[in-house]
Structure 1
Amino acid sequence: MLTQVSRSEEARNILIQNDRGGYTIPTAGLYPYQWNWDSAITAMGFAEFDIGRAWQELETLFSGQWADGMVPHILFHKADAGYFPGPDVWGGTGPIPSSGITQPPVAATMARLIWNKDRSAGTPRLKTLWPKLRAWHTWFLKWRLDQGAVCVTHPWEAGRDNAPDWDGVMERIDPVGVGEYERRDTSHVDGSMRPTKHDYDRYIWLVQMGNRLKWDQAKLLEENPFRIADPTMTFLLLRAHRDLLAVGEELGLQTAGMAEEIALLEKGAATLWNPELKSYDSRDAKTGLWTGCISNASYLCWLAGLDSPDQAAHLERSLERVKFGVASYDPTGEKFDSKRYWRGPTWAFMNFLIGLGLEEQQHPLAPRLRAVTREVIRQHGFAEYFDPTDGSPAGGQSFTWTAAVWLGWASKDLGAA
């Protein structure tokens, strides 16, 4: 087992090795492009040893921002035949070949953390970035709200690709006309750890629909059967908007209307409380039905500034049941699968986001969550995700945002963060 110092050296090397010149890839082979929320977390890791490179990561991400303000979930900077679906399948309309959907907006939160590390170096760059962040958040507020909660329009948009939250809607989609295609993810990772073909057919059907509609948001609002109010998006946009407002006020920027937008998002977050589960849950915006899922996204409430004793009780039970929490899906649930992507495994970056919220609210569970995340990485390395029952690594290896989480959070003492 490597020492903590050795793990830190390895983590820095992973960020450097996965650097492709202004942006990082999540890991070689499996994910050969720039991913949206991966890059934002990665920037936080770079800030531990190269503050200029941290800002460059965010700046490169926003170089692909669309005219309407949307920031894509993938930027295809260079062609790579090892990934499907590529830019030809997506038909993105931005300045850089891209996907047609977005991802959870953690960039403003990470930008504020980086800025606070070195304000003299960061202020000019953050002033340039701020209106781009504002435009992205405004795009969410215009196109993605349902009763104030933020919706996803594709499982990949949530970042929690095959979470049980989406099963009901996915069953209602008939992926007619998808045709033959060759998945590339299962050539890099054991198929038992990845989404099934049943899921993938529907992922591709949704992509083809978006391409056909040229990613026109008004048309997608009418035609897309997949529209789910999601805790991931809602809590992370609420937190990011708080950060953007705070930074804007300190820098003397135009923040008119942002306090009211935060209040709207707070009301939206309240609509995601499932009283039967006594937990935050996803809600089908088309039918109004709950998905009935307690996920790691449910625990992002503290990061959004929302406390919940009932949610804390769920988290404590989850941490008691699995050695290396937080499980991405309730370990007592019938769909729990400890190794299949978002149906059970623990993710270091989600633990970081949950832990950051707990720490800011001085919650008694905060030290425990940082400790288990530190231990799983110390014992098992920088995997994409881990089996929460025994810590065994799963998915891609030498993973950039896991290394970033180690550098910026997991390896540190709570009081030193």
Structure 2
Amino acid sequence: MTHDISLTEQARDVLITNDRGSYTVPTAGLYPYQWNWDSAVAALGFAQFDVERAWVELETLFQGQWADGMVPHILFHKNDPGYFPGPEVWGCEGPIPSSGIIQPPIAATMAHLVWQRDPEMGRPRMAALYPKMVKWHSWIMRWRLHRGAVCTTHPWETGRDNAPDWDKTMARMDASDVGEYTRRDTSHVNAEDRPTKYDYDRYITLVQLGRRLNWDQAAMLAQSPFRVADPTMTFTTLRAARDLVKMGTALGEDTQTLEADVARLEAGAATLWNEELGGFDSRDVHSGEWAGCLSNASYLCWFAGVENRVMLTKLRSIMERVAYPVPSNDPDAETFDARRYWRGPTWAIVNMLIGLGLADMGHEEEATDLAKKTAHLIKEHGFAEYFDPFSGAAAGGGSFTWTAAVWLAWAGRA
């Protein structure tokens, strides 16, 4: 038990060390700015011991909201020349220098969980934040839907940068004129743990296209070669809509539009079911082609309130096949790589979202099992960015904010 208490203290220390006053960086050096979904998870972590600081984290994130409602995936509060691509590459004109894309919209869900820690204290903070969260949700509903499923316009948006889901789409892209650039991520951590240069050329090509189009959503919709409806964005947006309905109801707001959005997104989630794969999959909107990938995002269905017995059977199987589930890619897939970012490693953050969903949907046994295995992983291998699903070996950045937050809010309570 002493070990657990010290781990909780260590987790708090990680958050405090990565705290930059009003926002938290994922980890020093590798990620020196405020990342959207990382920050939302950090808020939940802070809420376990400092609810006031949790609200500040969320409020700072929404200070970067664009006039049209979009909340960027990175806010560049203080320029750090060691990071690429920085604000000068993105060329955005939001209230805070930022990127021009989004990330999974889990902020509303995390805000809802933070509010539950101290409802009375949080009510005025939520009342101020709520319309901003609704505005971002409305932006996603306007610009990102295809047959009701939510699309990503850049691999970075999903948070699952180099997932195999994007391979077929990126193979059709021409990145020959991307030009010279210097990556910084591979100087901080093992290059074998990161996306390849082939991937990165295509990431930067999409950033350059967005900048040429001045991040005009209509122009990007018409011209971008990358538009993929995927489980991450669809399931997190659906969960956000449900939580916005709950928060809006508690605040006395009209939630009719949000309730209609829930129904629309539920129908959209159904369009991601790949019968041949037997799982929720990504599909290229331009080609109509399935990615053919069973990823950890496929198991976010319960987080979105979508029941699926086939996925439950698959989850039970994967929990037995690897020592440290849930791997980000099917170990039987040709594309599986146990250490390379989102092509195989286990991520504590996704485990928590899956686990919260399982518990919400009444799958207590699976939820508890996943929480305990994640807790064991962190106890044995620390607060790493991600982990080898077989050996548990730490990979990527260390002293990682969201892994520490996952311990505080979820895994450490198992």
After TM superposition, the score normalised by the length of structure 1 is 0.98
Residues 208/48 of structure 1: CA separation in 2 closer, same or farther (3 Å cut): same
* TM-fit CA distance, 1:12: 0.2
Structure 1 runs not aligned, ≥5 long: none
> Which string of whole-angstrom CA distances, capped at 9 and with x for unpartnered residues, describes residues 309-337 of structure 1?
11111111211111000000011111111
Alignment of 1:44-83 (within 5 A): 44-83=44-83
Alignment of 1:238-317 (within 5 A): 238-317=238-317
What is the root-mean-square deviation of aligned Cα atoms in Å? 1.0
Alignment of 1:2-401 (within 5 A): 3-363=3-363, 364-401=365-402
C-alpha distance in 1, partners of 2:72/2:193? 25
* TM-fit CA distance, 1:178: 1.0
Indicate the SS of the match to 1:150.
strand
C-alpha distance in 2, partners of 1:176/1:245? 46
* TM-fit CA distance, 1:2: 8.1
> Which string of whole-angstrom CA distances, capped at 9 and with x for unpartnered residues, describes residues 59-86 of structure 1?
0000000011000000000010111000
Contact 1:109 1:243 in 2 (8 A): yes
Indicate the SS of the match to 1:151.
strand
Structure 2 runs not aligned, ≥5 long: none
Q: Which amino acid aligns with 2:27?
A: T
* TM-fit CA distance, 1:352: 0.1
Contact 1:148 1:268 in 2 (8 A): yes
* TM-fit CA distance, 1:177: 1.9
C-alpha distance in 1, partners of 2:382/2:183? 27
* TM-fit CA distance, 1:254: 2.9
Count of matched residue pairs: 413
Indicate the SS of the match to 2:413.
coil
Contact 1:2 1:378 in 2 (8 A): no
Q: Which amino acid aligns with 1:382?
A: F
C-alpha distance in 2, partners of 1:365/1:254? 36
C-alpha distance in 1, partners of 2:397/2:263? 39
C-alpha distance in 2, partners of 1:254/1:89? 40
C-alpha distance in 2, partners of 1:220/1:143? 10
C-alpha distance in 2, partners of 1:378/1:340? 22
Contact 1:304 1:357 in 2 (8 A): yes
C-alpha distance in 2, partners of 1:297/1:240? 16
* TM-fit CA distance, 1:261: 0.9
* TM-fit CA distance, 1:269: 0.2
> Which string of whole-angstrom CA distances, capped at 9 and with x for unpartnered residues, describes residues 252-297 of structure 1?
0232311111100000000000011110000111111110000000
The answer to which of 249-258 and 128-137 deviates more is: 249-258
Matched residue, 2:411: 410
C-alpha distance in 2, partners of 1:355/1:344? 19
Identity among equivalent positions (%) equals: 63
Indicate the SS of the match to 1:341.
coil
C-alpha distance in 1, partners of 2:278/2:361? 20
C-alpha distance in 2, partners of 1:2/1:228? 47
C-alpha distance in 2, partners of 1:191/1:285? 31
Q: Which amino acid aligns with 2:198?
A: H
After TM superposition, the score normalised by the length of structure 2 is 0.99
Indicate the SS of the match to 1:177.
coil
**Structure 1 runs of 4+ with >4 Å offset:** none
C-alpha distance in 1, partners of 2:310/2:331? 17
C-alpha distance in 2, partners of 1:275/1:183? 39
C-alpha distance in 2, partners of 1:41/1:336? 27
C-alpha distance in 1, partners of 2:254/2:131? 9
* TM-fit CA distance, 1:92: 1.3
* TM-fit CA distance, 1:176: 2.8
